[in-house]
Structure 1
């Protein structure tokens, strides 16, 4: 444990280690570190979204069409190590299981199935298409706000459902605790602030898209395995972000 980092700093570093591949100081925390650090998930998303937005804005100076959007989405994949997309593919593959145990086993299988491949392709295509439909400045703002909002979706799932997997076999240590109301409130504030980059109508449509996509997936996935897993959280983030961008594109294209 780094003595130079205050407790909140250690939790922030842990959140970045959980959700990105950005270099962070090595920290050691108690068993409930994931629940305690979840309040910073939207802040992590904000940074990932901001860096992706910089790529989109810079690329838009050189190219038109889908190239800036593709590069921005690729930048997000690099920053996160495609962790959320991996969870998305595993979660959709797990839908093919006929029992809770079978679904969890399929989700842990490293091989990519048909359901997972299709979900991954469709989600990434929707993100690119939504960004192309937006003017570059608005697309950049939507990337920042959507990345923060989608991470808040994962916090809500952690708050309302328990961990369904085998804690001892998980890739990261999952404690028995959940984010408390105060921590969810902090995450809500951090997720809401980037929405100020958008006009009211666009923000409202984007949030409706994120909620529709994210809640439906969370309900289906958590119902199937009796709670959340790391894969389910990643899937919620990926799908919520796509829904947010689609909602923003719908608002931008309205008459």
Structure 2
């Protein structure tokens, strides 16, 4: 068994397993060691993994002849279940913080466990836009690929935000990501995963090469812009705004691709 453990740690299995446990509700063998120190480097891989599960469900429901809108609602529901609402919680807290006109009080409002009216509305808007955006695709292959682009590049936006902007709290889950990130190599790894994964799946789903190129560039731009805008509003990031970067980037990427 010693060779197995060496191989497991060599390719970073302990870190990948921890990323699965942290970012998703997917199972991981409890006897396999995990290490949460540098899981942010695998966040785009988690996006690809989750998108492939959703893609399989989407294709299966389409084959069964389910109505487009209902099919999209089921896919978005599983999307929420697979993440446990991890990033959606950040959307609510960030919206409540942005509703405060005094910037110095925003972090205090976000730390309150109570979800305000703006937070509830933000969650509703995110879920509705995702559902209707997916239902609006006339090309089902493009809809499936849009899932991959949204989940992958949305999480790349979070990775970029961790690397580029200051973290505003001394403790918290987000602080762990910021403290342990190696910006150069981790950002390179995360970018390579989503670029090659997105391009490869695009070709597999027979997406036009010009669209693959254009959507890759625009998705990266959207994810960067969302992270930058939130950093400007708060003068940095927190774990909640990291989640908001993911969710709003996903929404905007889906909306953009639905226009093709």
Matching residue of 1:145:
149
User: Match for 2:187 among 184, 191, 203?
Assistant: 184
Give the aligned CA root-mean-square deviation in angstroms. Answer: 2.4
Structure 2 counterpart of 1:159: 163
Match of 2:236 in 1: 227
Q: Distance in 1 between matches of 2:23 and 2:84?
A: 9
Change in 2 beyond 3 A, CA 1:111/1:208: farther
- Whether the aligned pair in 2 keeps the contact of 1:209 and 1:246 (CA below 8 Å) is no
Structure 2 CA distance for aligned equivalents of residues 52 and 247 of structure 1: 19
Q: Is the 8 A contact 1:57 1:68 kept in 2?
A: no
Distance in 2, Cα, partners of 1:232 & 1:95? 11
Q: TM-score, normalised by structure 2?
A: 0.83
Deviations 1:52-82 (A, max 9, x none): 1112111222312301111111111000001
Alpha-carbon distance, 1:93 to partner:
0.9
**Which range is displaced more, 212-221 or 72-81?**
212-221
TM-score of the two chains, using structure 1 as the length reference: 0.85
Counterparts of 1:162 and 1:100, CA distance in 2: 16
- Mapped partners of 1:241, 1:194: distance in 2: 16
1:179-218 alignment, distance < 5 Å: 179-196=182-199, 197=202, 198-204=207-213, 206-207=215-216, 210-211=219-220, 213-218=222-227
- Tell which deviates more after alignment, 68-77 or 92-101: 92-101
**Which residue of structure 2 aligns with residue 129 of structure 1?**
132
- 5+ residue gaps, structure 1, are none
5+ residue gaps, structure 2, are none
Q: 1:222 to 1:108 in 2, by over 3 A?
A: same
For 2:24, which of 12, 15, 20 is the aligned residue? 20
Question: For the structure 1 residues 234 and 164, does the alpha-carbon distance in structure 2 shift closer, same or farther, using more than 3 Å as the test?
Answer: same
